[in-house]
Amino acid sequence: MAYLATSADFVQRTYRFLREASASPSKWPSAQVVDYIDEAQASICAELNYLQSQWFVNTSASVRRYTLPPDLLTIRHVLYKPGKSTTETYTRLRQTSLGSLATADIGYDASGTATTWALGGVAGGGTVTLWPFPDTSAASGLFIVGNQTPESIGTSASPLPRHLLSLVPLKAAILAWEDLGSNDEIARYRDIYLARMRQWRLISIDMSPDATEPRQFGDIDNDFPFSTLTRWGRSTGGPLHW
């Protein structure tokens, strides 16, 4: 069998962890296993900060809530540019909660240049609420840095590098055993998965394809947005202008 080269390879490898024959499964039909694989792959991308990407969302005057792109998996940073001028730069917004935005002491209905964002949800996707809400329109108001949701393994090849591919069937098997409620199998495979995940984290902290050195984003409210193995520092140049 080819080493996890096709979706069938992922399915067969997962069934091996489930101790079932892929041709005649008794507990998990193949469609369900594919769902577990897709969920596992998305989980690994989020945990390792892989498939890092960027999205632009136009803002409008007097509008505070904006729908997030459907392929956005996790948000790392939200930046905002209040005007159309090419000389203006993006500034990083601080994250809060919708409940905090609604408290009377900060003036929920205030308008101006946004400084804060809160994550919300609506049917069919997530939203970002800005405070204060913009008092001017912008050509490309929000600049979102985050992780992209990987496509289903049934329609596209896995975007993960070879050394991470084996984590996907292992994580998918854990999800399947969790649904079945088999604590012994969950504990056994989870220990293996965590040990391998720790190994790759030690070797390379950040798996993002645009990184030139091992690094990891800091906390949302940290003025130093990334850390390396040896230092904390601000990034220089580039569109973020930290």
Q: Is the dihedral of CA 187, 13, 11, 168 positive or negative?
A: positive
Strand partners, 74: 147
The answer to whether residues 164 and 202 belong to one domain is yes
The answer to whether residues 144 and 155 belong to one domain is no
The answer to whether residues 82 and 127 belong to one domain is yes
The answer to whether residues 144 and 157 belong to one domain is no
Asked whether residue 227 is domain-assigned, the answer is no
Q: In what order do the strands lie in the sheet with 232-233?
A: 215-217, 226-228, 232-233
The answer to whether residues 60 and 108 belong to one domain is yes
Range of the structural domain that residue 107 is part of: 53-148
DSSP code for 69: P
Give the model's pLDDT for residue 211. 42
Chunked mean pLDDT (size 10), the chain, 242 residues: 75 92 86 95 87 88 88 88 75 85 69 87 80 77 89 88 90 94 91 88 53 50 53 41 35
The answer to whether residues 17 and 129 belong to one domain is no
The answer to whether residues 190 and 103 belong to one domain is no
Asked whether residue 184 is domain-assigned, the answer is yes
The answer to whether residues 68 and 42 belong to one domain is no
Give the model's pLDDT for residue 173. 96
Give the model's pLDDT for residue 113. 85
Contact 81, 144 (CB under 8 A): no
User: Angle between the 183-203 and 167-180 helix axes, to the nearest 10 degrees?
Assistant: 150
Give the model's pLDDT for residue 207. 46
Give the model's pLDDT for residue 204. 57
First to last CA, the chain: 48
Asked whether residue 58 is domain-assigned, the answer is yes
Domain ends where: 95, 120, 148? 148
Give the model's pLDDT for residue 135. 83
Cα–Cα distance measured from residue 26 to residue 35, given in angstroms and rounded to the nearest whole number: 17
The answer to whether residues 90 and 161 belong to one domain is no
- 172: which 2 tokens? 């998918």
For 76, 83, 223, the CA distances from 88, given in Å and listed in that order, are 22, 7, 19
In the chain, how many domains are there?
A: 2
Q: How buried is 200 (Cβ within 10 angstroms: 0-12 exposed, 13-18 middle, 19+ buried)?
A: middle
The answer to whether residues 45 and 163 belong to one domain is yes
The answer to whether residues 79 and 142 belong to one domain is yes
